[in-house]
Amino acid sequence: PVGWKSLAMMAVTGGGVLYFFERERSRRLDSVKAGPSAGKASLGGPFELRLANENGRRWDTSELRGGYALLYFGFTMCPDICPDELEKIAECVDVVNAKMAPAKAQDAPHGDKLPLTPVFVSIDPERDTVARVAEYVKEFHPRLLGLTGTVEACKRAAKQYRVYYHKTGDDADYLVDHSIIMYLVDKNGDFVTFYGKNYEAKEMAEAIVEQMKRLG
């Protein structure tokens, strides 16, 4: 578990590794300073959603156990940031898996666990139906898991990772402001660290391989 204080420290020591939406950031920093829960706030944890890749069957994070996962929260109608980040994730995941898996394992059937599994979680469940997310994730990586669910379920998932998101505009073409962070989760489902938008795919892959070797 990593508190907001240490997250903030990481952001600072990382030389602005991370871009938080300003208002959310100051709100959180204030709450860390002031709140009775200071030092107790932790990042990550279990959640339950629908797996778009498999017709929206019930899915929960325990299914990721035994392998590492790279979580990303976004929405399928995101005009450019989410597609860019998901392309980056796809490239990164391929580099990591090539390094961490024996050649044979990469051709394994889909039921088999990858060393690192990419996961897309919708923060726009009202428009991101199971069918839509299923089509969307295919565009980026054959093993990218796509998750969506009810408004409440997606909210709970995002909350576990302190993901900030906010609808802008009222019409059907609304956008969703959201934090752009990749979360690395270990084999036990525990949050390890995060990577911001300014990481390049290869750089992120190297950092993840290092973490995986360190943690085993």
State in angstroms the smallest separation of the CB of 205 from Ni ion: 21
Question: DSSP states of 39-63 as a string?
Answer: TT-------EEEEGGGTTEEEEGGG
Nearer to Ni ion, 94 or 124 (CB): 124
State in angstroms the smallest separation of the CB of 129 from Ni ion: 17
What are φ and ψ of residue 130, in 5° steps? -55, -45
What are φ and ψ of residue 102, in 5° steps? -60, 145
Which chain residues interact with Ni ion by CB under 5 A? 74, 78, 81-82
Which residue's C-beta sits nearest to Ni ion?
78
State in angstroms the smallest separation of the CB of 147 from Ni ion: 15
Give the residue from 24, 16, 119, 12 showing the smallest Cα distance to 64: 119
Nearer to Ni ion, 74 or 146 (CB): 74
State in angstroms the smallest separation of the CB of 113 from Ni ion: 27
CA distance 44 to 216: 19
Secondary structure element (H or E) that encloses residue 88, with its range = helix 81-100
Nearer to Ni ion, 41 or 176 (CB): 176
State in angstroms the smallest separation of the CB of 93 from Ni ion: 18
Nearer to Ni ion, 51 or 82 (CB): 82
Provide the residue type at 117 as one letter. T
State in angstroms the smallest separation of the CB of 79 from Ni ion: 8
Secondary structure element (H or E) that encloses residue 72, with its range = strand 68-74
Nearer to Ni ion, 32 or 86 (CB): 86
Nearer to Ni ion, 85 or 186 (CB): 85
Residues 6+ apart with CB under 8 A from 196: 11, 14, 17, 18, 19, 180, 181, 182
Torsion, Cα of 31, 34, 40, 45 (10° steps):
-10
